[in-house]
Structures are given as structure tokens and as C-alpha cells.
Amino acid sequence: MPTVQALNIYPIKSARALPLASVSLAATGFEWDRQWMMVDAADSFITQRTHPRLARVVPSIGPDALTLSAEGLESLDVPLAAAGASVTVQVWNDSCIAQDQGDEAAEWLSEAIGDAVRLVRVGPHMVRDANPRYAEPDAAPITFVDGYPILVCNTASLANLNARMPSPVPMERFRPNLVIDGLSPFEEDRIAALTIESFQGEPVRLRLVKPSVRCVIPSTDQRTGERSTNPLPFLRQFRFDRALKGITFGENAVIASGIGHTLSVGARCTAHFDAPAGA
């Protein structure tokens, strides 16, 4: 039976992952995932696509604060209590209402990544949804994620890719929220839904709705913030999706049921597959 091999959140969009043994499921995905984001002078989001040094920023969540760490800098606490001046920021084509997190956080992060940025947080009245073309019929509110609440990856798919490469890359390069073990390589392509046991006893159900089209970020070493081995040329040889016009790895998921429940590493999963063509 497939099991949950890893759970990750990314409190700050495009900063270092925060691996967890268990995670609560909010309406927008994993609790605290992409609740904060860095923006440039035009109040537009930035990511490792253009700023790979974002990977140097290590976030952690405490009882009262988001703690920021980076090599060579003293750590900084940003209060969890929602506060800050309202600002309209851009994430892809979406204009989002956010809260600016102040000058101290802006100065710290600007020094950490070597460029002038400000830190913003999801505003209490922000409304943003995943693409209904793929997410419906489920409601899929989202935070500062690229497009969907949860990214699911498969350990066997990574092993298959690494067997084709001169040197392997770790799963963290693909920045998944949920990593599943016990599937065949790229079996996630055919999965319609995952039912996962939760701490509360009632299962969580996720629908896998769209392959994840990959950008340059998997070429970034998530420990150093430097460009490194790029898996995309190898993926392109067998993972180019003509309909999506891109290279795919992993599946975007929306929440069908289980909001408020807790998922844990080691939890058992049941995969529900798409009906075969012509069935």
C-alpha cells in the first residue's frame, strides 16, 4: 500500500522548505504554506526563477513567530499575529490583498538575497482561487502558491529520472508538499484521487487535477541557492506534454474532503485511478 513518505510546507514562497512529521489541512492547503511572499519594488512576486538565492532563506514556525534564518545573518522573528499595512501585490495574473510585514523584515531579506524586497503576508480578506477549469467541482481557495493548493510527487518517479541522469538530484528540487512512496514510476499520471488516513481517523481525500509544468527552479541547489544540475533536459526527453506545452513532474491536487484533519508521515494511502480510455 502506498504511504506518505514526506510532508513539506513553504511558509515563504520560494524560500527553503520546512519538512514536517505531521501537518494540518487548511482550506487553502497545508497550514502555513505560502502564507508569506517577497515582492519587488513594483509589488510583484519574486521566486527562485529569477532569484535563486531565495533558497538560502530558512523559515520556521514557532508558537508566536515566523523565524527567518540564513547563513551569515542573525535570525529574525516576524510575529504571527496578523498585522501590517494593506498592499495590493501581483502573483502571476492575480492581484492579491496582502499585509506588508515591515521595514525590519524587508531589510533582513534584502541583505539575505542581495536585492531590495519586501515581505508580505496573505491578507485576511484575500480572495484567490485555483483555476476552475481543473479544480471544479471542488472549491479551491489558495494562498501565494503558483496555482493549486497541494503538489504531490512520487519517489519512484524521481528514481526513474535519476537513473537517466549522470548524477542524481534530490526530491527537494521539485518542492513538493506531499511525497508518496509505494507507487510505480509516474503512476501518479493516472491517479484521479488519493485517500489518505488522518490522525482523526476519517480519511482525507485529494483530487489530482493537473500535471505540474516545471520551470527552471529544479536546477537550483536548495541548500546553497546556486544553479546546479538541471534535470529538465533529461525530463524533456520523455515528459514533454504537448497539450500543456511544458515538461511535467508531479501532480497538482485540490482538497475534496478532510479540511481540519492532520496528515502524518507514514500514513497509508489508497489510489483511485482514472477510468481507462474507452471504458
* Predicted local distance difference test score (pLDDT) of residue 24: 98
- Percent of the chain scoring above 70 in pLDDT: 98
pLDDT at 237 over 60: yes
pLDDT at 139 over 90: no
Mean pLDDT to the nearest integer, 38-42: 98
pLDDT tens-digit readout, 73-123 = 999 999 998 789 999 999 999 999 999 999 999 999 999 999 999 999 999
pLDDT at 69 over 70: yes
pLDDT at 169 over 80: yes
Mean pLDDT to the nearest integer, 31-49: 98
Mean pLDDT to the nearest integer, 41-48: 98
pLDDT tens-digit readout, 155-164 = 999 999 999 9
Q: Which domains does the chain have, with CATH numbers?
A: 3-30+130-273 (2.40.33.20), 36-122 (no CATH)
Average pLDDT, the chain: 96
Q: Is the pTM of this model over 0.85?
A: yes
pLDDT band for position 8 (cuts 50, 70, 90): very high
Contact 241, 251 (CB under 8 A): no
Residue 130: C-alpha distances to residues 40, 88, 144, 196, 218 (Å)? 24, 19, 11, 22, 23
* Predicted local distance difference test score (pLDDT) of residue 276: 63
User: Is residue 106 within a helix (H) or strand (E), and if so which, with residue range?
Assistant: helix 103-113
Of 79-83, 140-144, 152-156, 192-196, minimum mean pLDDT range: 79-83
Contact 153, 171 (CB under 8 A): yes
Mean pLDDT to the nearest integer, 198-211: 96
Contacts of 255 (CB under 8 A, 6+ apart): 25, 27, 29, 138, 140, 149, 150, 204, 205, 206, 207
* Predicted local distance difference test score (pLDDT) of residue 277: 52
